[in-house]
Structure 1
Amino acid sequence: MTADVWLPIPADEIDGLPDGPRYLYWNGGPEYPADPADCAYYVVPYMLGMEVAVRPLAAMRSLRVLQTLSAGVDHVRPGIGGLHPGVRLCNARGVHEASTAELALALILASLRGIPDFVRGQQQEEWRSGFRPALADKSVLIVGYGSIGAAIEDRLVPFECARVARVARSSRTTERGQVHAFTDLSGLLLDADVVVLSTPLTEDTRGMVDADFLAAMKDGALLVNVARGGVVDTKALLAELESGRLHAALDVTDPEPLPAGHPLWHAPGCLISPHAGGPTSAFMPRAKRLLASQLTRFVAGEQLDNVVLTTE
């Protein structure tokens, strides 16, 4: 096979790449490594935003595969409409589950046990003792039960939760129990002490966590967002936080990055991390294994993994 493959990681740093393609390094710089028209397989630079991701797409007339290194693909969707039919869009399922699930648990535990307050107390040399909520005996609702949602539940098992409920686009049964459809959300929210968002950002989920969704949550509940900021209506969430009725732990925000002076920074009961779910030491080894596997399949003409859609 003779084809250009654009990689955001130098090819000589990825074990197991198949022979045949011409591997070119591009990680979002102003100069392209070659004519985009000759690129057959484009691996999108990681965490450099939509503008970088879609910049070369319009010129990629030979493109056959568009590969993200993120679980979400919302940052490349604006450029898909101009692609010719038959381009496969693949995500990075299998790369981010462990690290994102770790952070989800860290945010839950830090929020419930009051870790931010402990840090502030240490800075002020104050011994802030007292009773705090525990995760044990709490009811947890996972909204978006894909591979990341399942990984979050895996890590909840040792914490003796009273119940874990699961919601996805459509209902199904898993080894752990029933997965409810989104249409069942309102009833499930009433019983959840912790609501974890791990759903993709789509036209259906944008703004899904609105004033009605939040109003259905029980008093004192914790909302944890490791999905995308756009899933939550920020104004509606701020109203609930400022009233003191709900708490939140947010790895993603809308807008993002959260600008200085934004009221979310100082909203009561709100813990913010800077979209840190994916970029950990676990990322690079898993990303390299995914690319080696996908490109081996591509060169052999085999079915690719993680195909989200095929352009028409």
Structure 2
Amino acid sequence: MQVLVSQEHDDEVGAQLLADVDGVEVVRYAPAAPELPAEHRSAGVLIPPYRGSHRPIPLLAQLPDLQLVQLLTAGADEWSGDVPADVLLATARGAVAGPVSEWVLSAILALYRQWPALVRYQDRGTWAHRKVDADTLAGKRVLIVGAGAIGMAVARRLPAFEAEATLVVRNARAGVHTADELPALLPEHDVVVILAPLTPETEGLVDDTFLAAMPDGALLVNAARGRIVDTDALVAELKAERLRAALDVTDPEPLPADHPLWTSPGVIISPHMSRTVPGTSALCYGVAAEQIRAVLGGSTPSNVVVERRTK
């Protein structure tokens, strides 16, 4: 089976990994090209690159034998409305649980221990002993909205800091809460971590009502999708200095240079790079190889997106 892998540098490791999968012929392609060469149009698998994932969407119409679109992201929102119903769509869910959960913990600790303020004092050459009000994560309650691989990884790491995790998912399962319990849960938690996928149900979930239910001084962490959070509502809470936030994603994204979120008090922002550490591409292609092996073996890949979002 021909598997289309981006010819860009980040995907070199993927081409090498997939070349070792029995039954796979790796074909390199240009993600932004308007057309595929005729000899590549019989491909059974298309792997969009992580960067600019949406670029190959126009190529779908040129792949009549396509069986699987294999993403390198944990979310499928950029593709779910475009992949034909008879073509499987799978994600790299689980691949980046380690790096992203590490980012979440680092962001929480950075704000609790006041590192942003301390670095600004350092830039001015000021010995800021007792000039900031640092806090500890120990004893805090952390509400994790989204109990997938990343959410579970965050929950496993919190006990090392003597913090307590509460998990929320859309569909009930043992040991977790459901989304309809959020109004009662929010006032009881010091930190709220957003790790849910972007769906019609989660878009705009963190609105003014959601934020108002969080207690004074609480911290919002978003490492999911920017559009899950109402940016204007968040900016209002930050400017009132009632809440704090750590954001790896924003709406809009990239964040314009003159956007008020940049200068709002109590916020740290990273440019959608919570997963960006050495070895990430190999982790994602490792999961992709598992999904492709399933297709070659005649079974359904474990990371198939069951519900498709329509645009």
Matched with 2:127 is 127
TM-score by length of 1: 0.90
2:31 alignment partner AA: G
Instruction: Find the residue that maps to 1:56 and give its secondary structure.
Output: helix
Give distance in 1, aligned partners of 2:112 and 2:300.
Answer: 44
Give per-residue Cα distances to partners, 1:233-279, cap 9 Å, x unaligned: 00110110011100000000001111111111111101000111122
Matched with 2:293 is 296
Match of residue 17, structure 2, among 10, 14, 17: 14
Distance 1:25 1:33, change over 3 A: farther
Whether the 8 Å contact between 1:144 and 1:166 is mirrored in structure 2 is yes
Q: CA deviation at 1:63?
A: 1.3
Matched with 2:258 is 261
> How many correspondences in the alignment?
301
Match of residue 281, structure 2, among 280, 284, 302: 284
Distance 1:57 1:123, change over 3 A: same
Matched with 1:172 is 173
Instruction: Find the residue that maps to 1:190 and give its secondary structure.
Output: helix
Give per-residue Cα distances to partners, 1:150-199, cap 9 Å, x unaligned: 001111120001x32111002221xxxx2000000011000111000000
**Which runs of no fewer than 5 residues in structure 1 stay unpaired?**
none
Deviates more, 1:41-50 or 1:20-29: 20-29
Give distance in 1, aligned partners of 2:30 and 2:233.
Answer: 37
**Which runs of no fewer than 5 residues in structure 2 stay unpaired?**
none
Q: CA deviation at 1:53?
A: 4.2
Instruction: Find the residue that maps to 1:72 and give its secondary structure.
Output: coil
Instruction: Find the residue that maps to 2:153 and give its secondary structure.
Output: helix
Find out whether 1:270 has 2:267 as its counterpart: yes
Distance 1:164 1:12, change over 3 A: closer
Find out whether 1:250 has 2:254 as its counterpart: no
Give distance in 1, aligned partners of 2:58 and 2:156.
Answer: 38
Matched with 2:214 is 217
Whether the 8 Å contact between 2:66 and 2:87 is mirrored in structure 1 is yes
Q: CA deviation at 1:102?
A: 0.4
Find out whether 1:24 has 2:21 as its counterpart: no
Alignment of 1:60-139 (within 5 A): 60-80=63-83, 83=84, 85-130=85-130, 131-139=133-141
Q: CA deviation at 1:7?
A: 1.2
Distance 1:33 1:21, change over 3 A: farther
Instruction: Find the residue that maps to 1:196 and give its secondary structure.
Output: strand
Moved over 6 A (4+): none
Give distance in 2, aligned partners of 1:227 and 1:6.
Answer: 27
1:247 alignment partner AA: R
Whether the 8 Å contact between 2:294 and 2:300 is mirrored in structure 1 is yes
Q: CA deviation at 1:27?
A: 5.1
Whether the 8 Å contact between 2:32 and 2:56 is mirrored in structure 1 is no
State the superposition RMSD in angstroms.
2.0
TM-score by length of 2: 0.91
